[in-house]
């Protein structure tokens, strides 16, 4: 994944500030702000892992469930015309709207993996 790191199923962004001569980022796909920085790639990666570990430990100490990046559901607004078209296509194929959309997304993302 371009400009991303992964640790314990959390993803972190990678950015560089030429002005400050520092790499920095934040844990993506969660609402909590968990940020980190480093002066080189190795220290940035270490800082990212420490930030994730600190976040998980803080949640544990506070008795909170940590946010998980991907819950398996999301809302999408498609407009009434597209909603109609995909609903009709799903019905023609004899599947639910949800199943139809999952199938289309699976097919599209599989194409990108092989490209």
Residue 49 lies in domain? 4-61
The answer to pTM > 0.95 is: no
| Residue 70 lies inside a defined structural domain of this protein | no
Please tell me what DSSP assigns to residue 62.
T
With 0-12 / 13-18 / 19 or more C-beta atoms within 10 angstroms meaning exposed / middle / buried, residue 93 is exposed
CB atoms near residue 89 (< 10 Å): 14
| Residue 16 lies inside a defined structural domain of this protein | yes
Check residue 38 and give its pLDDT: 97
State how many domains the chain has: 2
- Same domain? For 50 and 9 the reply is yes
- Same domain? For 11 and 48 the reply is yes
Check residue 29 and give its pLDDT: 96
| pLDDT at 3 > cutoff 70 | yes
Structure tokens that stand for 37 in this block: 């920085």
- Same domain? For 93 and 47 the reply is no
């Amino acid at each position: 994944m371009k400009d991303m790191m992964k640790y314990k199923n959390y993803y972190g962004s990678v950015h560089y500030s030429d002005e400050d001569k520092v790499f920095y980022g934040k844990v993506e796909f969660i609402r909590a702000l968990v940020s980190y920085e480093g002066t080189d790639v190795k220290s940035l990666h270490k800082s990212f892992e420490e930030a994730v570990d600190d976040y998980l430990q803080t949640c544990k100490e506070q008795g909170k469930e940590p946010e998980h990046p991907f819950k398996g559901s999301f809302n999408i607004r498609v407009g009434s015309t597209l909603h109609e078209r995909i609903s009709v296509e799903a019905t023609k194929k004899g599947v639910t709207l949800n199943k139809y959309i999952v199938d289309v997304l699976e097919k599209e993302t599989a194409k990108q993996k092989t490209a």
